[in-house]
Amino acid sequence: MRSYDPIETASRDELTALQLQRLRWTLAHAYAHVPHYRTAFDAAGVHPDDCREPGDLAHFPFTVKQDLRAAFPFGMFAVPREQIRRLHVSSGTTGAATVAGYTAEDLRTWRALMARTMYAAGAQPRMLVHNAYGYGLFTGGLGMHAGAEELGCAVVPVSGGMTERQAQLIIDLRPDMLLATPSYALAIMDALHARGCRAADISLRVGLFGAEPWTERMRRELEEGLGIDAIDNYGLSEVIGPGVAAECFESKDGMHVWEDHFYPEIIDPDTGAALPEGAFGELVFTSLSKQAMPVVRYRTRDLSRLLPGTARTMRRMEKVTGRSDDMIVLRGVNVFPSQIETLILDDARLAPHYVLELRREARLDSMTVRVERRPGPEGGDDPAAALAQRVKTTLGVTVHVALVAPGSVERSVGKAKRILDLREVTA
Ligand code: DLL
């Protein structure tokens, strides 16, 4: 198996030894230099020396977003501010901002991990890469940019927005690879199609998509519409940015966690108990090499499953179903936007542009799936009624479906907002 770095295919024993050594370093580094970790470890009655094998990590306390917010701006740094070479700031969809800091060495690590991620996706040196992730405080644009250059690619740093211009640049410059959120890739795809380009005319061969949940159906939509291999990648700013886990084009079966730098766990989101491999739950990460901002057992709120490696020795995480924050509880039934997305795309008459509106009517929550119809001949049964029926039989909930004209659901240029919560206004 070809890989960018030999560690990707090292034996489990070799990997575990490296993880343990780095884990012990991280715990000691965090304990010695970050007051939050010293207080939290002391309160839990654990000391970095108690970690004798990776499983011992389960005795250490979790870190949550609120801990990072409380330490705003630089309280989670384990090195003096003067050693920081980059800051990224995430506003988050709700609540206060959090800051991520990187030393020069952290930036080198990140760049190498991004080069690895792109190579795993099928990128090769000298390819031309169109980067439509937002540049700026978001980690996507600059993180991807550095990785593509590290691999030896040429980057077109377009950033998000100006969708018509993006389409024209793709026609004119003929890039091999597209980097974007999957929802924005769809918008670019629609703009290309509107100019009469079909998959066979489009130069792109690979799409590296991430930063938001997307389904297998959406993968097919993008692969067929753009004539590419569409590959998933996962990450979060608190842990480093993109480059935490990457799908391999050979297998397209979930993302290999770069386990030499991030130690993954799955926990029960309600009890916090560590779950065995293969169980579904919340992803938790511990950084293994980060100098500026080590994170110990960071609770991501992302729901997935850990599986054994395939194209690499490192473990895989299954495609993220959603964030626990985005789980809709509709009359006692848990619903994720990704489940609705799959059911929408089962019907060729419906487009992958949708938003879920939540209302409160007569003290009960209700959901309306606002989804676009694809242009094309009318006829046959009513696609709205058919979707409502599929949702009812598959998920067990009653929803309203509003079919809307092509182009009427707002397009994202970054992360799509799938839920419009009107419950406060309609209560
Ligand atoms: O979204 C980093 C990133 C940039 C990843 C570009 C991939 C590509 P944040 O803005 O901190 O960082 O958001 C992190 O986005 O906790 C997940 O909820 C979600 N997310 C990221 N990647 C995926 C993915 C970047 N592949 C949050 N599938 C995470 C599903 C994802 N959700």
User: Which token pair is 253?
Assistant: 């079966």
- 242 Cα to the center of ligand 1, angstroms: 7
Q: Is the distance from the beta carbon of residue 236 to the nearest atom of ligand 1 less than 6 Å?
A: yes
Ligand 1 in reach of 181 Cβ (< 6 A): no
Residue 290 Cα to ligand 1 middle (Å): 19
pLDDT tens for each residue of the chain, 427 residues long: 689 999 999 999 999 999 999 999 999 999 999 999 999 999 999 999 999 999 999 999 999 999 999 999 999 999 999 999 999 998 765 568 899 999 999 999 999 999 999 999 999 999 999 999 999 999 999 999 999 999 999 999 999 999 999 999 999 999 999 999 999 999 999 999 999 999 999 999 999 999 999 999 999 999 999 999 999 999 999 999 999 999 999 999 999 999 999 999 999 999 999 999 999 999 999 999 999 999 999 999 999 999 999 999 999 999 999 999 899 999 889 999 999 999 999 999 999 999 999 999 888 899 999 999 998 877 789 999 999 999 999 999 999 999 999 999 999 999 999 999 999 887 6
Instruction: Give the residue from 317, 111, 89, 298 showing the smallest Cα distance to 210.
Output: 317
Whether residue 300 has its Cβ less than 6 Å from ligand 1: yes
If one residue of 145, 236, 326 were mutated to test the ligand 1 pocket, choosing by the most ligand atoms within 8 A of its CB, it would be: 236
- What does the radius of gyration of the chain's CA atoms come to, in whole angstroms? 22
pLDDT for the residue numbered 362? 82
Question: Quick one: pLDDT at residue 427?
Answer: 64
CA dihedral 400, 406, 408, 409 (to 10 degrees): 60
| pLDDT value at residue 377 | 76
40 CA → ligand 1 middle, Å: 27
Locate the ligand 1 atom nearest the alpha carbon of residue 208 and give its number: 8
Cα 138 to Cα 300: distance, rounded to the nearest angstrom: 17
Q: What are phi and psi of 130, to 5 degrees?
A: -95, 110
Distance CA 374, CA 185 (A): 17
- pTM of the shown model: 0.96
Q: Tell which atom from ligand 1 comes closest to the C-alpha of 255.
A: 26
Is 383's C-beta closer than 6 angstroms to any atom of ligand 1? no
In angstroms, the CA 331 to CA 401 distance is 17
Give 326-365 as a DSSP string: G-EEETTEEE-HHHHHHHHHTSTTEEEEEEEEEEEETTEE
Residue 17: partners with Cβ closer than 8 Å, 6 or more residues away: none
- CA 228 – ligand 1 centroid, Å: 21
Q: Residue 200 C-alpha to ligand 1 middle, in angstroms?
A: 30
Q: What is the DSSP letter of 274?
A: B
How far apart (Å, rounded) are the C-alpha atoms in residues 321 and 22? 30
Q: Which two tokens stand for residue 279?
A: 């169980």
Counting ligand 1 atoms within 8 A of each CB, the residue from 68, 212, 252, 317 with the most, and so the one to mutate, is 212
Give the C-alpha separation, 299 to 325, whole Å: 12
pLDDT of residue 424: 84
Q: Which atom of ligand 1 is nearest to the CA of 300?
A: 16
Contacts of residue 258, defined as CB under 8 A and 6 or more positions apart, other chains included, come to: 113, 116, 117, 243, 244, 245, 246, 314
- By the 10 Å C-beta count (0-12 exposed, 13-18 middle, 19+ buried), 256 is classed as buried
Element (H, E) at 156: strand 154-156
Using the mean position of ligand 1's atoms as its centre, give its distance from the Cα of residue 317 in Å: 13
How far apart CA 414 and CA 205 sit, in angstroms, is 21
The conformation of residue 308, written as its DSSP 8-state character, comes to: -
